[in-house]
């Protein structure tokens, strides 16, 4: 892979054989995709330029910008009904916005350091946040009140999420650990230890029986939720693994890395199935579309990219942020 910088363009490479298939320029976001994209598909991104944006995937056009944070926006997610957007920011707050108008509806204040992630609980009644102050917090989405503070990590908490039944919380931390908590009491149920560097993200499997972590030791790991045993280590990235998610109903894992790539893996064998190359900087997040046909990545090179999941071909580059794109999700 080569690149001359965000303003001068770059070359993307096929994930299946490593051969260059297309060169991109700064005007690429206006070109016709090399494969069809659904006209109704939208993408939500968060970036270090203090904004979140919604994009029309098939044209690459930015159709909405969320202004209001006074620091980098570290995450952005839709509510389950897609009517709201929730963001986390280095300005020590999280916020809920109207997805249609980009108006800020609610701001959550209480953390004492940058907020790294914010997401709804499964029932939508709570907002879960994690912060550099070493805590995770649960907030009422109706009143904005902080209902519970999760304490126990010895460093920044990079991510927090809930199990699908809402009974457990899961955190990832700078202290090289992930922890499972009781959502009702805040008590620690299990500590996952084994990474040799900060853990950037942690997620439950679809059935809740396993946990997937991504860490700066260049690996992702799969754990037993209840016993804390490491079941599988995924090795192959040449840099920190920044995020990892289960895909294909838990049969595969998708990872992103500072080595500039995303990879898919077979859970049962640990084999790397596909590598996606084309970004000119670290990749912070990678997600699969609901039908499994497309991949979405966010990168330090100020772009997000949509890929054909099967071939590794880049279908669209979303350009317009003026800083690192931290997260990208499909609407």
The predicted pLDDT at position 89 comes to 99
* pLDDT at res. 162: 98
Tokens of 125: 């009644």
pLDDT mean over 77-86 = 98
| pLDDT band (50, 70, 90) for residue 37 | confident
For the segment 253-285, what is each residue's pLDDT rounded down to a tens digit? Answer: 999 999 999 999 999 999 999 999 999 999 999
CA distance 153 to 150: 9
What pLDDT, in 10s, does the model give residues 208-262? Answer: 999 999 999 999 999 999 999 999 999 999 999 999 999 989 999 999 999 999 9
CA distance 76 to 57: 17
Rounded CA-CA distance 162/168 in Å is 6
The length of the chain in residues reads 331
Residue 21 has pLDDT above 60, yes or no: no
* Spatial separation of the C-alpha atoms in residues 74 and 115, rounded to whole Å: 7
State how far the Cα of 31 lies from the Cα of 39, in Å rounded to an integer.
14
pLDDT beyond 70 at 29? no
Please state, in angstroms and rounded to a whole number, the distance separating the CA atoms of residues 273 and 247. Answer: 13
Tens digits of residue pLDDT in 153-199? 999 999 999 999 999 999 999 999 999 999 999 999 999 999 999 99
Report whether pLDDT(19) > 80.
Answer: no
Q: Which CATH code is given to the segment(s) 10-330?
A: 2.130.10.10
229-266 burial string, b = 16+ CB within 10 Å, else e? eeebebebbeebbbbbbbbeebebbbbbbbbbbbbbbe
pLDDT of amino acid 12? 35
pTM confidence score: 0.89
Q: Using the predicted structure, report yes or no on whether residue 24 has a pLDDT greater than 60.
A: no
| Cα(284)–Cα(289) distance, integer angstroms | 17
* Tens-place pLDDT, residues 105-151: 999 999 999 999 999 999 999 999 999 999 999 999 999 999 999 99
**Per-residue pLDDT, 39:** 85
Residue 323 gets which letter from DSSP?
S
Token representation of residue 156? 């920044």
Residue 312 has pLDDT above 70, yes or no: yes
Q: Is 248 helix (H, G, I), strand (E, B) or coil?
A: helix
pLDDT for res 7: 35
Residues 144 and 154: their CA atoms lie apart, in Å, by: 26
Question: Which alpha helices (H) appear in 85-133, and where do they start and end?
Answer: none
Q: Is residue 14 over pLDDT 70?
A: no
pLDDT of residue 38: 84
201 touches 208 (CB < 8 A): no
Q: How confident is the model at residue 288 (pLDDT cuts 50, 70, 90)?
A: very high
pLDDT attached to residue 15: 32
Backbone torsions φ then ψ of 91, nearest 5 degrees: -80, 10
Contact 57, 73 (CB under 8 A): no
* Cα gap 86→140, rounded to integer Å: 13
């Amino acid at each position: 892979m080569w690149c001359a910088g965000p303003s001068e363009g770059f070359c993307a490479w096929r994930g299946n054989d490593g051969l260059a298939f297309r060169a991109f320029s700064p005007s690429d976001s206006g070109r016709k995709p090399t494969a069809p994209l659904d006209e109704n598909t939208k993408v939500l991104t968060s970036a270090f330029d203090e904004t979140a944006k919604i994009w029309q995937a098939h044209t690459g056009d930015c159709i909405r910008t969320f202004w209001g944070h006074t620091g980098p926006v570290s995450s952005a997610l839709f509510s389950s009904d897609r009517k709201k957007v929730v963001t986390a920011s280095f300005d020590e707050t999280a916020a809920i916005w109207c997805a249609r108008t980009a108006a800020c509806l609610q701001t959550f204040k209480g953390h004492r350091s940058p907020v790294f992630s914010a997401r709804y609980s499964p029932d939508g009644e709570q907002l879960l946040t994690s912060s550099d102050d070493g805590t995770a917090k649960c907030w009422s989405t109706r009143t904005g009140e902080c209902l519970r503070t999760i304490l126990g990590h010895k460093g920044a908490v990079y991510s927090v999420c809930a199990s699908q039944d809402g009974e457990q919380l899961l955190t990832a931390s700078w202290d090289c650990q992930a922890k499972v908590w009781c959502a009702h009491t805040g008590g620690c149920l299990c500590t996952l230890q084994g990474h040799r560097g900060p853990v950037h993200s942690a997620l439950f499997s679809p059935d809740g029986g396993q946990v997937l972590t991504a860490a700066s030791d260049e690996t992702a790991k799969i754990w037993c939720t209840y016993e804390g045993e490491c079941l599988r280590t995924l090795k192959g990235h040449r840099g920190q693994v920044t995020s990892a998610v289960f895909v294909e109903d838990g049969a595969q894992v998708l990872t992103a890395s500072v080595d500039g790539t995303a990879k898919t893996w077979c859970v049962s064998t640990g084999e790397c199935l596909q590598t996606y190359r084309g970004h000119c900087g670290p990749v912070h997040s990678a997600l699969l579309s609901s039908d499994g046909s497309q991949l979405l990545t966010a990168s330090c090179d100020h772009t997000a990219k949509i890929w054909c999941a099967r071939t590794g071909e880049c279908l669209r580059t979303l350009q317009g942020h003026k800083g690192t794109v931290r997260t990208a999700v499909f609407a």
